[in-house]
Each structure stands twice: as structure tokens, then as C-alpha cells.
Structure 1
Amino acid sequence: MASPEQVRDPDGAGVARFLAPLQGGGVVLGAILFSLSLTPSLVPREPMVQGLLGGLVFSVGYATWFGLVTLFRWLGVRPLPADARRIVMRVCLGLTGLGTAICLWRSADWQDSVRAAWGLPPTDTGAPLIVLALAAAIFVVLLFFGRSFQLLASDGSRRGRRFLPPRVANLLGGLAALAIFWAVVDGVGMRYALRAIDNASQLADAIVAPDLARPGDPLKSGSAASLVGWEDLGRWGRDFVSSGPEAAEIGAFWNAPAKEPIRVYVGLNAAETPEARARLAFDELLRVGGFERRTLVIAMPTGSGWLDPGAMDSLDYITRGDVATVSVQYSYLSSPVSVIVDPEHGLAEAQALFDLVYRHWTGLPADARPGLYLHGLSLGAFLSQETVPLLDVLGDPFQGAMWTGSPFLSGFWNMVVTRRQPDSPAWQPRFGNGSLIRTANQDARFARFDADWGPMRLVFLQYGSDPIVFFDWSLAWRAPDWLTGPRAPDVSPKMRWVPVVTLLQVGVDMAVALGTLGHGHDYVARHYIPAWAATLAPEGWDAATEARLVEHLRDLVPR
């Protein structure tokens, strides 16, 4: 058994450790990273967002220093003499304080460089006091949890030293504290937080807007003749089937007769299982004659079930209304939350719906069936891509797909970027000879390729400033390809890669990537239009018609 001297914690414990002063080296490293976090990233940051990011980054720096000190102490590395350490620390703190003040002063200019790339007016001020106050508050909260963990690990280590060697006891005490914290955060905190988010999203999904009447047209999902109840469409399903251009509006644009677009949607409450919801959507599609249209689109919505009007309305116009779109809701949660919780949650719905539609479609005569296309935005793009069995459909390929804002977890999108032609940038990769896959951003230049389109057209639309597309864990240790060479037109020329900091910057960017149409993760009709045209190859389409439709849908904004 260990002696009382061995059991005693040499670093102190309890309240004294919990209230110990900050380590100067940790403050220096945290302040350096905080200053670097003020530099521009993909999305312009408001002071509150910058303060949150700054607090996180400062905490990472402080925790890194604390870990290094703990490691060196465990290895027996002798520190500098007290007098020398005190002088060095004062110099470092002074220089760091000066550097932080300069970076705060320049932060508004850095953010304006992003805003200029997005065509936004400059900010009035970087609001340094708000940034500092919020960053300090975030750090204090995280420090509380960090010292609580330290206290718990120290207590476990002190108990273990009665029976074990000190280093073994320290290791086991740390592992025990980690297990307890993980159980509390993941098993309690995350569970209740996600349950609260899910319940709130479910309630919002069930609300029927008072100005939204049940459709009287029997060809509309949710009508009295529909296989799907009006309430079972969900919030975004009701909005989807009730909105969009009517045949008269489309005909007026083309100055020719047009058809009423068919929109089929099945909400999450319509059936118990993903397979049942997919079957219900397929049966509804059959009921309304979706396979009798010239164009048939399987569209996967975002995590909440939303379909972008910019994509859907432009599709209806380009096809002159001779189109049927079918979609199934798989979640109430927004795409960013769904990506964190379970990004493959909607895969069963996407796969079942594709299999049902494709199997029926291949059974129709080749000269009497619609052109079959896929579509998805954000998480919906990922799920749509995951359902494409390219090798299985080569014998009877569908006509194409238009995927927008493919998230970073998409293996298909990452393959296109990784295997792109060497002379093409990562933000607009050129894949192969362009006969199968083409990509574009706001410029929407799909014609610059070596070969004509083949029997299948796969089109990717993504903005160079979309953090949901270009986030990657390797940002912590490696500069991304999209920051080397020529940059996307809406990426700040002042953005620089910084280890760890850029990872956190782009991670925070994902949470604030919406709000400015035409940039970030907020896609707009004027960019959907050329992407759909490249996918569908509509008859009689030319630059003048494209410009006319862009102007016609100029005021269309997401609902």
C-alpha cells in the first residue's frame, strides 16, 4: 500500500485547484489563436459569431498549453528558473496583447474583404468589445467544465494511488473522468437537447398555416382524392404542393400552351416506415399520372423536408410544366443538425423511392416513358447520390441528375474533386472529358469540356464559398486545395490557412452559411436555371431564353 505522501496530490486539490489562477503560457497561446481567428474565412461573421468562435479558439489554445505542461511534468522535464520564467512570460504577454489589439483593429477590414467578395456593403465596425466580452464568457464556461474534469480526474487518481503506482493511477483517473464526462454529455446532454430540438421541429412541422387551404385539384397531393392526407404532408410538403407556377403562368412566359406541373410529396407522419412512405409516394405518383409526363424528377429534400423554390419553380418553367416531381420527407431536423446526428438517416427512404420508380420506369416502353432525373440539395444531394447504382443502371441509364451544395460527407462529390483534371480548381473540378459529369458555380459555365454529353448527365452546382461543401477535418493539419491557386470568385483574397483555426472557422461558417442569396449555402434561381438547362437539354433553349427566365424569376426568394 502507498504511503500517505504518495497518496497526497502534489498539485493540490479541491477548491484551491478549481480557483487556481490562469497559466500565463495558456493565455499567450490562446490569445495567438484568438487573434488568428479574426482573419477572414468563407462566410462573413457578425460580432456575436466572431465572439463565439474566438472563445472556442482561445479555449483550444489554453487547453493545448495545459496538456503540454502536464505532459512535460509527467516526463520529468525541468522548467525554466522562476525569475527567467517570469521575465519571458511578461514579454510574451505584452507582445501578445499588442498583437491581439492590432488584429481586433484590423478585423473589420478582414470581414469586409469577405463581404466585398459577396457583393455586400462594408461593416461599420468590428465591435471589438462585443467580440472580447463574448469570447471571455465562452472561455469561462469551458474553463469551468475543464477544471471540473481535472478535479474529477484528480480525485480518481488520488483514490487509485492507494493501490497503484502514481502514473498508472493518474492514467486510470483521467480515463474514468473522461468516461463520466462522455456519459453525461452524450448520454444526457445530447439526448435531451436533441429530443427538445426534435419535439420543437415536429410541432412546427404539424402547424397548418391559416392562409394555406387544402387544394381542390384532385391531381394535387393532399387533396380529397389524394392517397396522402393534407395534414400528413407536413409543413414543407404543404408549402411545396401549394406553391409554384401554374400552367397559365408558364404558358404566358413561353407564349404557348403549358401543362400544370405535378408535385407529389409524402410527409414523415404519412406512414410508419421509410419503405411504406416510399411506396405511398410511388402509388400517388401513379395515381396522378406522373409517368405520363415528359420529365420525371425524384427530388430528395433537405433534412427538414424543405425543397428550394428556386430549384423547383425554375424546373417547372424550363419543362413548360410537362414535369412530375416526387419527394419523401425523412426528418424534421435541419440539414446541419441531421449531418451531426445521423447523416444517413434518410437513406432508406431515398433508396426505396429510387428503386420503386426506376423499376417501374424500366418496365415501360423506351419510346413511351419520361426522362428520369434525380435532384437534391444539401443533405438531400448526399442521399440522392448514395442511391445511384451506376454500374447497375448502365444497361438502361436514367437521363441525369442535378445536385446542389453536395455536403462534405458525400463520397461521390469527394471522388469528383479528388480525381479532377489537374488544371482545374477544387471549387470547380473538371472530371474526365465532361461527357458524364460537369460542375459549375455562380458562373454556370457547363460547356467548357472536351467531349459532348453522353447518355447520362450528372451536374453539380456548388458555390466556392459554401462551407458545407468544402469543410474537411484535414483543415486542422493541411491547407485545402480550394485555397491554393486561383480562388472562387466569392472567396476573400485575404483568407489564409491556419492549422486548427481554419478548421474551427469553417466549422462555425457552416452554422451561419444561410442568409445571403447566391453565396454560402443559399442557392438562388438564377444559378439553378443554367444548371437545370445543362441537365435537361430542353428544346429551343438558348442564352436569350435563359436570360429572360432569370429576369422573370429575379424576385423569387426561398420561403
Structure 2
Amino acid sequence: MSKAALSSLFHLSAPAAFAGALAFSAALTPSLVPRSGMLQGGLAGLAFAAAYLLVVLLLLIWQTLGLPVPRGRGAERAGASLKALGAVVMVAALAQASAWQNEIRLLMELEPVETVRPLTIALTAAVLAFVLIWLGRLFRLAVGVIERRLSRHLPPRLAFVTGLIGAVFVFNLLGNDVLLSRIYTALDKSYALIDRALPEDQPPPLDGLRSGGPGSLLSWGDLGAEGRNRVADPLDAATIAEITGAPALEPLRLYVGLGSASTPEERADLALREAIRIGAFERRRLVLATPTGTGWVDPAAMVPLEVVTGGDVATVSVQYSYLPSWLSLLTVQSYGVQTAQATFSAFHRYWQSLPEDSRPEFWLFGLSLGALHSDLSADLYDVIAAPYTGAFRAGPPFAGQSWQHLTADRAPESPAWRPLYGDGRVVRFINQTSGSTPPPAAPDWGPVRILYLQYPSDGITFFSPNLLWRRPAWLSGPAPHDVSPNLRWLPLVTFFQVGFDLLTATTTPAGYGHVYAARDYLYGWQSLLNDPPLSTEAMARLNALFRARNL
């Protein structure tokens, strides 16, 4: 390769490179979740490329409009100075990267690191930025090819705009219909195999009251991996009684897998018939626990519920997917909503037909995507005559319209990461600090109780497309205890930072990010159920169980 060709390969526009350097450096500043060197490099490289390509696009539009462009030796010297200044800024940011990461790690009670491997960050960022910038150049090439063909028949500016639209169409077609569809197919096959795998060390239960056991309407093999884990949870009546010091019942756990029936309506009907068979409506509490995308029901939420109720509870879950929640949200969200709605409708209709003085309390629960689907499962106008008792929603995704409305209409003096809504009779928000520093006193709960558990460091809750151009409300006022005070909003950069936090939100210790701790679920259930508190001795035994099970 000639020297000129090599120079052309790595040539960078000076203004765009300087903008990329600023974005690279800003991406290394604290966000919500600590990251490894390679992830930091990926984020920094993405930020560099995005800023670079944005400026190149603006310069291209500037030139197309025929506006003046600096040229000559003076412009070359200014460009070289800009590139040198950008390099200095990036080196300074790399030198500070470990300290910025340790700010977050210390907030999350993690050991500080001596280094986040600046060389790893730089190399990863360089490779990713190079690939993305060259994809951008291919896009520009496609625009030029289409523009030249059309310029014979159209005015220059119209030919350019049409070329731009045509290139977007071509790249979107290749990206979605070729690349992404194949990636999705591969992921779908992998997760389907995991869901269907039936380990030899997990035989069907011998208890007829458990899904897949003797007399059950459900096949053990059809429950899916997460369904079998849920049903086989080792917490039993004897263990609950040992913790609480009082007699306990065997908690009822009903789970219907994707393989149990063909449609959401059929699975909901099967769940209802199984619930009637095992006596779920004879328990004091009935909980529809909507799973996450993989079908997982968080044991950190279910264990404290079953303990504080003395086992006098039945939980019902119906699977709608085996994909991770972020992938389910992109591909099968409507199917998850249909499943949640069909399940709620079937159970509420039967529950409403029972004598009011003898039917159980009717609760909804969901974590993450399960919280979103649980929220969408019940239409106000369908339940207003016989409302369910309440709902517990943990880690609500940013896309939830109810959550968005409640946060936007919060009391002005309350922060967006812990809103106060109305007088607190219907909706309340809690986080990790609620057990030790409760919010201002509120009246007793009303007839319907809705509780949100959310951590300020949870990117799944606090991400938003608006971060591209707007400072979020949750960055106003003093920083919460698990968020670095040095987190600052910057256009474009913060969008990518919190976007990465969204994807890695489950890599944190319990009690931070999107990993909700059993102690916080316990506080939430106790607040909702209004049962007598556990004794000091019982709490000590329960906390020991949490530690033993890493909840």
C-alpha cells in the first residue's frame, strides 16, 4: 500500500476528530454502573465515532449548501493544532479514568481498582471507532453514488437529499433484514435450547400441589428452565416456621410455561384451572407474579413474601418468552402484554365471582419487563367495580407510561428518583434507603395500594431517548447515595453512557443497579401487606437466609 493510500485510510477531519476526542473523554467520566476496561473502551469508541460522524455530516451539509470553507496552510495548521489538542484531552481523560470508576465502585461497596487498564480502553476504542467511521464513509460513498446518478435529472441539492434518503434505506435494509435478523435467529435458537433443557438432577416434584407434580394439569418438562426453578424453590413450610417461630403453610407456586399451551388465552385458562385445583383461591393472598423476559421470577422478591405471609400465599406466573428482557422488549413485547392481560382477565373474572368476604387479597407483582407487562395487564375500566388489592413493581422500565406519568406529576419538592405522588394513599416509591430513612409521613393506604421499588443507579429505569438532547430530571438536585455527584449530563455522551448502563445494569452487587435486594423487597411487602412486623429474632434468621442464598 502506498504512503498516500495509507494516509488516506487513517485521515481524519480535524474539527470532527476534536469533537470525537471531547466525546471520548466525557464518556470516561462517571455514569451509573462501574465498567471493565473493555466495556469502557467500547463506550468511548462509540462516543468518539458518533461525535465524529455527526460533525462530518454537518460539514457535508455546510459544503452542499455552498457555504465558505477555510482552506490553505492556515487551515492546515489550525487542523493539526486541533488534533494535537484532542490527543492531549484524551490522554488526560485516560489518566483520570481509574479514579472516576472508583467513585462508582466505592458507592456500591466494591473494592477500588488500581487501574481500569487505559491501554485496553484506548485500543478497544480505536478499533471500534475505526470500524464505525469506515461504515460512515461507506454510507457517504453510497450517498455519492446515488447523488451522481440522480444529478443528471434533478437539481444538485435535491439529488443530494434523495441520495441521503436512498442510502439510509439501503443501510437499514442490510442492517435489519440481513444482519440483525440473523443475529436474532441465532439468539432465539440458543435461548430456546436453554429453556427446553431438562437436567437429570431436577426431577418432577412429588407434591401434588406443585406444578408438574402428581395430578397436576401441567407437564414438568413444559414449564421451561425458569419455571422449574421457581416451582422447585427449597423454601418450605418447615423452614418458614423455623424463621418466624409460628406455624406455617406450604406456599403454593403455580407456573405455566410457554410449552404448556399454544396461545396466551389457553395458558391463562390452564393456569386458572390449576389454581382452582390446588386451592389457590383459598389462601389469604393471591399474587399474579409476571415474569421477566426469560421467564424468571426473582426469588429475592418471593422469599420474603412467602416468609412474612407464613406461607399463606399462592403465586401464579405465566411465561411469555425465554429471551432476555431487553431482547423481549424489542421483539415480543406485544406477546408479553397479551399474556399478562389474558392471565389477569381470567383470574380477575373468577376472583370477582367469589363471595367478597371470603376471597383472597388480589395482588400483582412484576420486576423489570414483568413490571411493565403487569402494569398493562389491567384496564381501569374493567376493574373499577372490583379493584385488585394492590401492585408491587420493581425496577420499572423507562418505557412504562404509568411510571412516566407518576414521575412527571410528582410533588415539586421531591426528586425524580424518589417521587412523592399525591398524598401517598394510592402510590408510593421506595429505594434502598427507605428502611432507614422513610419518606415524610403519609396517611394510611387507601383501598388500592401501588408501590414502586427503584434504585437511582438503575439504567433500565432511568434511561431515555431524550438523553440525546435533554438533561434528565433525575440529575437535578443533590445526587442520591448510589450515584456519583460527578455524573453530568452532556448531549449525545450521556445517552451512550446510560445506554451502556442499561445493558450492564444486572452486573452490580445486590442493592444497586438493576439487582434488587431481598431486604428492600421485604420492606416493600411489609409496607403493602400491613401485617404485624417480624420479631427481632425472626428478622435475624431471615437475614441469615438472605445471606445464605445470596439474595
Alignment match, 2:542:
549
Farther off after superposition, 107-116 or 162-171 = 162-171
Other structure's SS at 1:519 match: coil
Which residue number corresponds to residue 8 of structure 1? none
Match of 1:129 among 85, 110, 119: 119
Cα distance, 1:16 vs structure 2: 11
Residue 538 in 1 paired to residue 528 in 2?
Answer: no
Instruction: Please name the residue that 2:517 is paired with.
Output: 524
2:422 aligned to which of 423, 432, 448: 432
* Structure 1 residues 329 and 17: CA distance shift in structure 2, 3 A: farther
Partner in structure 1 of residue 14 of structure 2: 24
User: Which of residues 26, 47, 57 is equivalent to 1:57?
Assistant: 47
1:114 counterpart residue number = 104
Residue 348 of structure 1, CA deviation = 0.6
Task: Determine whether 1:498 maps to 2:490.
Answer: yes
C-alpha distance in 2, partners of 1:400/1:227?
Answer: 29
Q: Using the TM superposition, give the Cα deviation of residue 172 of structure 1 relative to its aligned residue in structure 2, in angstroms.
A: 1.9
Q: Distance in 2 between matches of 1:286 and 1:371?
A: 15
Q: In the alignment, what sits opposite 1:7?
A: none
CA distance in 1, matches of 2:329, 2:112: 32
Amino acid across the alignment from 1:528: Y
SS in 2 for 1:326: strand
Distance 2:198 2:289 in 1: 23
Instruction: Report the alpha carbon displacement of residue 75 of structure 1 after superposing the two structures with TM.
Output: 1.2
Aligned equivalents of 1:278, 1:167: Cα separation in 2: 57
- Measured in 2, the distance between the counterparts of 1:17 and 1:180 equals 29
For residue 429 of structure 2, what is the amino acid of its counterpart?
A: T
**Which deviates further from its counterpart, 152-161 or 459-468?**
152-161
Matched-pair identity in %: 41
Q: Equivalent residues in 2 for 1:33-112 (5 A)?
A: 33-112=23-102
Within-5 A mapping of 1:99-248: 99-248=89-238
Q: Partner of 1:278 in structure 2?
A: 268
Q: Shift in Å at residue 169 of structure 1?
A: 2.2
Provide the C-alpha distance between the structure 2 equivalents of 1:108 and 1:544, rounded to a whole number of angstroms. Answer: 43
Match of 1:454 among 446, 454, 459: 446
Whole-angstrom CA distance in 2 between matches of 1:101 and 1:543: 54
- Asked if the contact 1:433–1:449 (Cα under 8 Å) also holds between the matched residues in 2, the reply is no
- How far apart in 2 are the matches of 1:260 and 1:399? 22
Q: Which residue of structure 2 aligns with residue 476 of structure 1?
A: 468
Q: Is the 8 A contact 2:17 2:86 kept in 1?
A: no
CA RMSD in angstroms comes to 1.8
CA distance in 1, matches of 2:10, 2:118: 28
CA deviation profile, 1:388-409 (whole Å, cap 9, x unmatched): 3234433322211111000000
**3-state SS of 1:344 partner:** helix
The reply to whether residue 463 of structure 1 matches residue 463 of structure 2 is: no
Distance 2:457 2:121 in 1: 23
Give unmatched runs, 5+ long, in structure 1.
1-14
Residue correspondence of structure 1 range 229-308 to structure 2 within 5 A:
229-308=219-298
Hey, what does 1:340 align to over in structure 2? 330
How far residue 451 of structure 1 moved from its aligned partner, in angstroms, is 1.4
Per-residue displacement from partner, 1:474-523 (whole Å, max 9, x unpaired)? 11112112111122210011111111100110001111111221100011
- For residue 133 of structure 1, report the CA deviation from its aligned partner: 0.5
Secondary structure of residue in 2 paired with 1:554: helix
Residue 17 (structure 1) shift: 12
- Give, as a single letter, the amino acid of the residue that structure 1 aligns with 2:298: D
Residue 398 (str. 1) matches residue 388 (str. 2) = yes
Matches within 5 A, 1:339-378: 339-378=329-368
CA contact 1:244–1:313 (8 Å) conserved in 2: no
Query: Which amino acid counterpart does residue 14 of structure 2 have in structure 1?
Result: G
Shift of 1:180: 1.1
For 1:147 and 1:476, the matched residues in 2 are separated by: 23
In the alignment, residue 470 of structure 1 is paired with which amino acid? F
Q: Does the 8 Å CA contact 2:235/2:303 hold for their aligned counterparts?
A: yes
> CA separation of 1:18/1:236 partners in 2, compared to 1, >3 Å: closer, same or farther?
farther
TM-score (norm 1): 0.94
Query: Structure 1's 486 and 309: CA in aligned 2 closer, same or farther, altered over 3 A?
Result: same
Displacement after TM superposition at 1:176 (Å) = 1.6
Q: Deviations over 1:349-397 (max 9, x none)?
A: 1001111111111111111111110000000000001123234433322
In the TM superposition, residue 57 of structure 1 has moved relative to its aligned partner by 0.4
Give the number of equivalent residue pairs.
Answer: 544
Distance in structure 1 (CA, Å) of the matches to 2:166 and 2:8: 19
- For structure 2, the residue ranges without an aligned partner over 5 or more in a row are none
Q: Give the C-alpha shift of residue 160 in structure 1.
A: 1.7
Asked if the contact 1:529/1:546 (under 8 Å) is kept, the reply is: no
**CA deviations over 1:290-312 (Å, ceiling 9, x no partner):** 00001100000000000111111
| Mean CA deviation greater in 300-309 or 394-403 | 394-403
CA deviation string 1:85-111 (max 9, x = no partner) = 112112222222111111110111011
Q: Which whole-Å deviations, capped at 9, do the CAs of 1:328-348 have from their partners, x for residues lacking one?
A: 000111112122334333001
The Cα of 1:543 is off from its aligned counterpart by 7.0
Residues 46-94 of structure 1: CA distance to partner in whole angstroms, max 9, x if unpaired?
1111111011101111101111110110111111231221121122222
Relative distance call for 1:20 and 1:102 in structure 2 (3 A) is closer
Match of 1:6 in 2: none
Taking the aligned partners of 1:17 and 1:285, their CA distance within structure 2 comes to 71
| Structure 1 residues 163 and 361: alpha-carbon distance in aligned structure 2, compared to 1, 3 A threshold | same
Q: Which amino acid aligns with 2:472?
A: P
CA distance in 2, matches of 1:378, 1:25: 41
Deviation, structure 1 residue 542: 6.5
The equivalent residue for 1:11 is: none
Of residues 167-176 and 356-365 in structure 1, the stretch that sits farther from structure 2 once superposed is 167-176
Post-superposition offset of 1:185? 0.7
Report the TM-score, using the length of structure 2 for normalisation: 0.95
Conservation of the 8 A alpha-carbon contact between 2:244 and 2:538: no
CA distance in 2, matches of 1:340, 1:480: 23
Which shifted more, 449-458 or 466-475? 449-458
